Each structure stands twice: as structure tokens, then as C-alpha cells.
Amino acid sequence: MSWLDREAYNKKFITKLAANPNATEQQLVIQQLGGPDITEGHAVGEQYYQLLYYRTQRTISDGITTKTECTALLFIDRKLVSAGQDAEQRYYQATHRS
């Protein structure tokens, strides 16, 4: 699959997920999209928060994928709860409390 095809597929799949996350299993997403381009994870109490970033819009053809070229998916205990900017905001609010 070319990088253009991959981005289009990722964007289409993530758009469907974002419309109705419904606690989608993390493993299902990885089976459909492959491994994420970027990952962050953090334990908060007894819950594990993980952001998986998938490239959906390349901006610079430099061979390096950045977060700005990706859409984030937030999983809590391996269940999808949010996508996009909301996912990043929820992750950082939960994991960067004093």
C-alpha cells in the first residue's frame, strides 16, 4: 500500500471509529491499521492511558512522521474512548495532573 493509500485508509477508518468509539478494542484497531506511527502511554492510578497516533495527513516529505501529521486515538485499559484533538486533551489532562 502506498503512503497516500495508507493515509486515506487510516483517515477513513478513524473517522468511522470517532463517530462511535463504543469501547472498541485496541487489538481490533491494530489489526485494521497496523502498528501506530507514534505511541505514548501512562498509568493513572489503576488505569492505563495510551495514545496511538496514525498518520492521516503528511505535511513534509522528509521521511519523518510527526504528531501534527497524525490523528490520535485514546485508549483507556485497551478500550477506545476518544479520537483526534479531544483524545490528546483528555490524555494530557489525566496524565499531567499535579
Where does the pLDDT of residue 98 fall: very low under 50, low under 70, confident under 90, or very high at 90 and above? low
36 vs 23 pLDDT, higher one:
36
Instruction: For the beta carbon of residue 9, count every other beta carbon within 10 angstroms.
Output: 16
* The pLDDT value given to residue 41: 96
* The pLDDT value given to residue 19: 79
> Pairing relation of β-strands 70-76 and 79-83?
antiparallel
Decide if 73 contacts 21 (C-beta within 8 A): no
Q: Domain residues of the chain, as ranges?
A: 3-95
pLDDT in tens, 54-76: 999 877 777 788 899 999 999 99
Residue with cell 492510578: 45
CATH architecture of 3-95: 2-Layer Sandwich (3.30)
Q: How far is CA 17 from the centre of its chain?
A: 11
Instruction: For the beta carbon of residue 96, count every other beta carbon within 10 angstroms.
Output: 9
Q: pTM above 0.95?
A: no
